[in-house]
Amino acid sequence: MTIRALVFDVFGTVVDWRSSIIREGELLGRAKNLKVDWAAFADAWRAGYRPAMSRTAKGEWANIDTLHRGILNEILEKFSIRGLSEAEITHLNLAWHRLDAWPDVPAAMARLKTKFWIAPCSNGNIALGVDLARRNNLHWDAILGSDVAGDFKPKPRVYLAACDAFNLPPERCMMVAAHSRDLKAAASNGLRTGHIARVDEYGPNTGEAGPTVPVDVAGKDLADLADKLGC
Amino acid sequence: MTIRALVFDVFGTVVDWRSSIIREGELLGRAKNLKVDWAAFADAWRAGYRPAMSRTAKGEWANIDTLHRGILNEILEKFSIRGLSEAEITHLNLAWHRLDAWPDVPAAMARLKTKFWIAPCSNGNIALGVDLARRNNLHWDAILGSDVAGDFKPKPRVYLAACDAFNLPPERCMMVAAHSRDLKAAASNGLRTGHIARVDEYGPNTGEAGPTVPVDVAGKDLADLADKLGC
């Protein structure tokens, strides 16, 4: 069976969330004269993400904008950031809609689209996917992932709902991610897997230089993956 | 509140389903030496669609490809079309993925995209939306509608799930359709409404020349609507 669709993790794989959140923090810091370690702030915000998803999984489902806001309320306190208006906090929360793609992504994604259907399969919500696509010139065929499945990765239904949306069996879909954990879950649901290295995801030399689980293909970056997939 | 997103009915509004289904029937007829009134066949297929959705609404939800196949099985019998292989029937069923847009659509949609988020809000499934977009050079921001809502229009949740996907209140979304019934349902859920005339939808001079319910804007076609929305 040949691969017909590629579905992508977004945070860390397609976009460089950390540099973008630091940039947004610095913009706010200059405007409001705040002295904050924005790298630590970005890392704390991201670190709250998986626990927030886990809590949500046990109760009412909430999209990532809502989870990000809950974490943000806590870290504003922790970093002693006070005096922001509700509009300023809302704007900061939507920093996750203003993330920049890694530099190799827009051109490589356009190449991949000539051969495959392409969609995010992210824990980000649809509106976030739309904003990132417009900002970074990404031309997804559809926005899949948590909003379509009503749950978060690594739950099986998120991967399987993405395949279903394309009317494809899992073995004709490849999950592409910079995180072996995500790929392991995708593979266990029957999807093919492609790893790309994002070695600077959490700061210099912090990300996975290669997969720690068996994958179908691994690339240095998305351009290398596109080469290896014959695009 | 200004309009931020346009969501579109697809069958009849964006694509000319009838001419396309007739064309697909004629292709099959020539290949298999069938004598069939393909216009009547197309009309019968479409006529089965609303009853099939109503039946589905009362039980297990099924996507439109599945509903189309159930109707097709009945009308193959009714039109005495026999001797097709399973692969041929499957290919014919997916004729709904090979519909052509009305001629004004691709250019007008590109203009609308410069000012608004755009997405189908159709009873078609995501895979169908992807195929129609690729075929007709439509660059949706997302594919919304029945697959995202898990139900069919005119149920309120289908319209409201489309607004939610864009993180927008209904009054910042406009439903665009050639059918007053669809617009009436959208308006009753708080969406703004735009009508376009598709006078030849069911054959010459059969479609709505104008809305039969109050709407926010009405256009002769999508290009005229784009003019009236300031694009």
Per residue in B43-102, pLDDT (tens digit) is 999 999 888 888 876 666 788 999 999 999 999 999 999 999 999 999 999 999 999 999
Rounded to the nearest angstrom, the minimum Cα separation between B24 and chain A is 21
- Given this model, what pLDDT does residue A56 score? 74
Query: Smallest Cβ distance to A65: which of B125, B133, B167?
Result: B167
Rounded to the nearest angstrom, the minimum Cα separation between A182 and chain B is 23
- Do B79 and B44 form a contact (C-beta atoms < 8 A)? yes
Question: How far apart (Å, rounded) are the C-alpha atoms in residues B25 and B27?
Answer: 5
Query: Smallest Cβ distance to B65: which of A126, A134, A167?
Result: A167
Fold designation for B17-97? DNA polymerase; domain 1 (1.10.150)
Question: How far apart (Å, rounded) are the C-alpha atoms in residues A101 and B226?
Answer: 31
Burial of residue B124 (number of CB atoms within 10 Å: 0-12, 13-18, 19+):
buried
Contact B144 A133 (CB under 8 A): no
Query: Smallest Cβ distance to B126: which of A65, A134, A142?
Result: A142
- Given this model, what pLDDT does residue A47 score? 95
pTM equals: 0.95
- Residue A5 makes CB contacts below 8 A (sequence gap 6+) with A116, A117, A118, A119, A163, A166, A168, A172, A173, A174
Q: Which CATH code fits A5-16+100-228?
A: 3.40.50.1000
Low-confidence ranges of chain A (pLDDT < 70): 57-60
Question: How far apart (Å, rounded) are the C-alpha atoms in residues B178 and B211?
Answer: 8
Rounded to the nearest angstrom, the minimum Cα separation between B154 and chain A is 20
Q: pLDDT, tens digit, for every residue of A112-156?
A: 999 999 999 999 999 999 999 999 999 999 999 999 998 899 999
Q: pLDDT, tens digit, for every residue of B106-157?
A: 999 999 999 999 999 999 999 999 999 999 999 999 999 999 998 899 999 9
The arrangement of strands across the sheet holding A117-122 comes to: A144-145, A117-122, A5-8, A173-177, A192-196, A217-219
Contact B126 A133 (CB under 8 A): no
Percentage of chain B beyond pLDDT 90 is 92
- Do B199 and B207 form a contact (C-beta atoms < 8 A)? yes
Query: Smallest Cβ distance to B117: which of A125, A130, A147?
Result: A130
Average pLDDT, chain B: 96
- Do A193 and A154 form a contact (C-beta atoms < 8 A)? no
Q: What is the 3-state secondary structure (H, E, C) of chain A?
A: CCCCEEEECCECCCECHHHHHHHHHHHHHHHHCCCCCHHHHHHHHHHCHHHHHHHHHHCCCCCHHHHHHHHHHHHHHHCCCCCCCHHHHHHHHHHHHCCCECCCHHHHHHHHHCCCEEEEEECCCHHHHHHHHHHHCCCCCCCEEHHHHCCCCCCHHHHHHHHHHCCCCHHHEEEEECCHHHHHHHHHCCCEEEEECCCCECECCCCCCCCCCCCCEEECCHHHHHHHCCC
Contact B148 A144 (CB under 8 A): no
Question: How far apart (Å, rounded) are the C-alpha atoms in residues B73 and B82?
Answer: 11
Contact A165 B127 (CB under 8 A): yes
Which chain A residues are closer than 8 Å to B141 by Cβ? Answer: 130, 133-134, 143
Question: How far apart (Å, rounded) are the C-alpha atoms in residues A48 and A70?
Answer: 9
Contact A141 B130 (CB under 8 A): yes
Those residues of chain B whose CB sits closer than 8 Å to some CB in chain A are 65, 117, 125-127, 129-130, 133-134, 139, 141-144, 147-148, 165-168
- Given this model, what pLDDT does residue B58 score? 63
- Given this model, what pLDDT does residue B56 score? 75
Contact B166 A133 (CB under 8 A): no
Query: Residue type at B56?
Result: T
Structure tokens at A218: 């691994």
Residue B18 scores a pLDDT above 70: yes
Contact B142 A143 (CB under 8 A): yes
Rounded to the nearest angstrom, the minimum Cα separation between B157 and chain A is 14
Contact B165 A147 (CB under 8 A): yes
Residues of chain A with CATH 3.40.50.1000: 5-16+100-228
Rounded to the nearest angstrom, the minimum Cα separation between A167 and chain B is 6
Question: How far apart (Å, rounded) are the C-alpha atoms in residues B120 and B122?
Answer: 6
Measured between alpha carbons, how far is residue A27 from residues A21, A36, A114 in Å? Answer: 10, 11, 37
Contact B141 A125 (CB under 8 A): no
- Given this model, what pLDDT does residue B59 score? 61
Burial of B205-230, coded b for 16+ CB within 10 Å and e otherwise, reads eebbeebeeebbbbbebbbbbbeebe
Residues of chain B with CATH 1.10.150.240: 17-97
- Given this model, what pLDDT does residue A52 score? 87
